[in-house]
């Protein structure tokens, strides 16, 4: 769990003078950004109150370390919703798109025609074990956590969270696909013995076809395999060559790109630059925003709700919170309220900032959601802007930039989704 106690960094930065307004919550943000850039959860700082009740008018930040009991309890309750699911469930594949992938010949091991008796028996055992230890839903051997229902049926973390998310989207209890017993985070459990057994099973490298224990396969395929596909080191000046790692030295010795003129490699460099420029633009926008007079962040939680409009439809909403002397709410929905999101494998969350109190003067607000201290959500940074006026109190729905659908499923399988919302108000 992300620890909020990085007292040293917080206390040094936090107590800056805030001459005029109460909403000068500038200081905690600096280490926050630093934390984002280093993606180091340890350095997140200020203690923040999750707005629990709608009547709560307390401002979000009490700078300077974790102080009140309030923030303490909210941090635990928020943390309580998090689960030990593997931090990186694999991209959920379309069901049954497996079998060939694992290299163990999960169910076909018995038909191997030749081989000395002993080797054959061993191979049979391994493939039999593979068939027994695989996920009952996707038949894959997971590299991550393995869960089981009360009757002992195995489900990989990705399938487990997918089932929970489906249950939530349909407003039904999730059930084990094998025995229909109810599954939830409280009545399903990890099966560490299976996880360890799977990690010891031999598995074939997809490039060199040599067998390695499952647990070391990823390292082998990423860093060690001589056959792994590798780019020429002159890739950035336009060489498109990509080949097995052991051929790169020979290729690079003869590669023509280092001998091209500056004029000839300009196009490649420009393409490369424009990609970097995009990224840099985001950071400079962020730095620009950080010099605004009024900045506030709130640590919030999306709670699931349903409407009865058509079919029951899932959406998420935070409790009201205050910022810039106004009341706000954030709403979120799945696949932009597609009719039956549970029938689609592609999932996406979009969110909307809503002004709940009356305003006489227009407010130009930049905002974006980030992980915050109580969440392990893998969210990118995308800054949005909306001009709030008396008539226009709701922003559009903007994408919560998640890496893929499986991360979305993982969030949907939680009781709530914790996040931090940063808001910047431009004074006109
Ligand atoms: Zn699975
Ligand atoms: Zn079961
Ligand atoms: Zn290999
Ligand atoms: Zn080359």
Residues 257-315 have pLDDT tens digits of 999 999 999 989 998 899 899 889 999 999 999 999 899 999 888 988 876 665 567 88
The ligand that comes nearest to the alpha carbon of residue 220 is: 3
The ligand that comes nearest to the alpha carbon of residue 208 is: 3
Of 42-56, 154-168, 303-317, 318-332, the range with the lowest mean pLDDT is: 42-56
Question: Domains plus CATH for the chain?
Answer: 1-80+292-428 (no CATH), 109-200 (3.30.40.10), 233-276 (no CATH)
pTM: 0.52
Across the range 100-122, mean pLDDT stands at 45
Distance (Å, rounded) from C-alpha 125 to C-alpha 112? 12
Distance 248 CA to ligand 4 centre (A): 8
Instruction: Give the whole-number percent of the chain exceeding pLDDT 70.
Output: 68
> Does 49 or 325 have the greater pLDDT score?
325
Distance (Å, rounded) from C-alpha 89 to C-alpha 136? 16
Instruction: Give the whole-number percent of the chain exceeding pLDDT 90.
Output: 39
Distance 253 CA to ligand 4 centre (A): 8
The ligand that comes nearest to the alpha carbon of residue 181 is: 2
The residues, any chain, with a CB within 8 Å of residue 76's CB and separated by 6 or more, are none
Distance 229 CA to ligand 4 centre (A): 13
Distance (Å, rounded) from C-alpha 186 to C-alpha 145? 16
The ligand that comes nearest to the alpha carbon of residue 235 is: 4
Distance 166 CA to ligand 2 centre (A): 16
The residues, any chain, with a CB within 8 Å of residue 353's CB and separated by 6 or more, are 328, 330, 365, 367, 384, 386, 394, 395, 421, 423
Q: How many CA atoms lie within 13 A of 124 on its CB side?
A: 12
Position 240 scores a pLDDT of 92
pLDDT band with cut points at 50, 70 and 90 for residue 158: confident
Distance 149 CA to ligand 2 centre (A): 5
The ligand that comes nearest to the alpha carbon of residue 205 is: 3
Residues 351-387 have pLDDT tens digits of 999 999 998 899 999 999 999 887 778 899 999 999 9
Position 32 scores a pLDDT of 37
Position 9 scores a pLDDT of 34
Distance 152 CA to ligand 2 centre (A): 6
């Amino acid at each position: 769990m992300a620890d909020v106690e990085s007292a040293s960094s917080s206390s040094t930065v936090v107590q800056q003078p805030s001459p005029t307004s109460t909403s000068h919550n500038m200081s905690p943000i600096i280490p926050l950004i630093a934390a984002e850039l280093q993606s180091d959860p340890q350095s997140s700082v200020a203690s923040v109150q999750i707005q629990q009740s709608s009547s709560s008018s307390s401002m979000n930040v009490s700078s300077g370390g974790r102080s009140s009991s309030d923030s303490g309890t909210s941090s635990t309750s928020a943390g309580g919703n998090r689960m030990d699911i593997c931090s990186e469930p694999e991209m959920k594949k379309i069901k049954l798109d497996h079998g060939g992938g694992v290299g163990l010949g999960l169910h076909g091991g018995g038909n191997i025609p030749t081989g000395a008796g002993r080797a054959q028996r061993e191979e049979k055992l391994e493939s039999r074990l593979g068939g027994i230890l695989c996920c009952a839903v996707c038949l894959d051997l997971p590299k991550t956590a393995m869960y089981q229902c009360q009757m002992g049926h195995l489900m990989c973390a990705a399938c487990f969270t997918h089932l929970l998310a489906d249950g939530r989207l349909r407003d039904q209890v999730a059930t084990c696909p094998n025995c229909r017993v109810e599954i939830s985070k409280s009545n399903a459990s990890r099966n560490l013995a299976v996880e360890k057994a799977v990690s010891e099973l031999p598995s074939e490298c997809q490039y060199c076809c040599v067998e390695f224990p499952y647990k070391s396969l990823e390292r082998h395929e990423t860093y060690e395999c001589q056959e792994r596909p590798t780019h020429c080191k002159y890739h950035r000046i336009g060489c498109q060559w990509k080949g097995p790692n052991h051929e790169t030295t020979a290729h690079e010795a003869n590669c023509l790109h280092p001998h091209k003129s500056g004029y000839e490699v300009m196009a490649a460099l420009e393409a490369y630059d424009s990609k970097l420029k995009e990224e840099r633009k985001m950071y400079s926008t962020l730095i620009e925003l950080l010099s605004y007079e009024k900045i506030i962040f709130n640590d919030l939680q999306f709670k699931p709700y349903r409407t009865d409009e058509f079919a029951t439809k899932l959406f998420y909403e935070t409790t009201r919170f205050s910022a810039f002397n106004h009341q706000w709410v954030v709403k979120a929905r799945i696949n932009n309220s597609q009719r039956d999101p549970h029938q689609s494998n592609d999932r996406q969350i979009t969110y909307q900032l809503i002004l709940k109190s009356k305003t006489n003067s227009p407010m130009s607000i930049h905002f974006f959601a980030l992980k915050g201290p109580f969440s392990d959500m893998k969210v990118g940074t995308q800054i949005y802007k909306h001009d709030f006026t008396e008539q226009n109190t709701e922003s559009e729905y903007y994408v919560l930039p998640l890496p893929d659908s499986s991360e979305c499923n993982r969030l949907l399988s939680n009781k709530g989704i914790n996040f931090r919302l940063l808001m910047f108000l431009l004074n006109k």
